[in-house]
Structure 1
């Protein structure tokens, strides 16, 4: 027995009442619930709408099961994000793209000779990574809600901000910790510049993935 539009709306509002704020999960849970209810009703047409709803709800083991599904989806998105980012970075470390990374590292190394204290130069270099937070932050704020709806696939992919903030901190701490050694041996800058290049790749690929997945969500749900 098919549910009416009003009954489907009732189920949708029930799903929203479970504090599931992500639009795509609201749609998915509503579809699963409606399908389950229609199957139960086909088997026993004598049941009332609310009885069918309770039976269908029991398949999800109530509110806690919905929450566990949300957490599992977050873990899946995290895994997918990490895998995609690692794959992109690995491509930059292969020929011919690695040539660009090497040239960037050489330019960064040459720039250190214009500073009296190489450790200060490294701190400036890593601090500049924070500039890449601007497009990521702008993208996050702009797409926090898309047409009044929040999407887990968009909000959770804003992990590039974490990379952007962590790499400068790591680089600055290492530069401070080994400033005396770096002052005595200029070649010690090289491994730190390698870390800086990797950090730049993490930041750039993170922002790219954010934009890519936002576009995918907009296309899937036909949003502007």
Structure 2
């Protein structure tokens, strides 16, 4: 609305000062005078950068919240349970790989659920688009797991306590990333339903 008001006032001023100029040229001139040669593109790019930064901050804040009381109890429960779970397997890397893949596909299912909200009145919703990209955070664990399973299976002792701690950390982080994504997705959908799109 502020941009629209600014444009209307600028076009009026140009039309008043130059009676020979057409309305279309007055709009073009107001756009260049008000927003530079890039016009609205500069504003759009700035808005996209701010939205990306906001979503990143929200994602990491959600994950960070799982390390404060009372959520830290839940986080510790996941980590300890998973560490014990891995000790039941002769080759814990396979069990870990399957568990991480399940977490990754849970992230995909959540992203597909929110896919229908990517557009509103045939317009792409920036926040939803950025949020859908954020689900890749849940695949961080899948990527790391693939690396050490593929390249380290002949050299790494997966039963070693440090290796099991690493697998536990990656699994716990992946679960928290998906839970954070779900929480932000729900909040975003509520916000979208409350918006009035003209």
TM range (shorter): 0.7 to 0.9
Structure 1 residues not aligned, in runs of 5+: 1-26
| 1:199 to partner: Cα distance | 1.7
Choose which of 17, 37, 40 in structure 2 pairs with 1:44.
17
Structure 2 residues not aligned, in runs of 5+: none
Choose which of 137, 150, 155 in structure 1 pairs with 2:112.
137
| TM-score using structure 2 length | 0.82
**How many aligned positions are there?**
194
| 1:34 to partner: Cα distance | 3.2
Aligned residue in 1 for 2:72: 98
| 1:92 to partner: Cα distance | 0.7
**Secondary structure class of the residue paired with 1:68:** helix
The answer to whether the aligner puts 1:216 opposite 2:182 as a matched pair is no
Aligned residue in 2 for 1:165: 139
Aligned residue in 2 for 1:19: none
The answer to whether the aligner puts 1:205 opposite 2:180 as a matched pair is yes
| TM-score using structure 1 length | 0.73
When structure 1 is superposed on structure 2, of 117-126 and 48-57 the one drifting more is 48-57
How far apart, CA to CA, are the structure 1 residues paired with 2:13 and 2:126?
29
Q: Is the 8 A contact 1:171 1:196 kept in 2?
A: no
**Secondary structure class of the residue paired with 2:131:** coil
Please list every run of at least 4 consecutive aligned residues from structure 1 whose deviation after the TM superposition is greater than 4 angstroms.
Answer: 27-32
| Cα distance per residue 1:26-71 (max 9 Å; x no partner) | x776555334324544x53835423421321222334x33223222
**Secondary structure class of the residue paired with 1:101:** helix
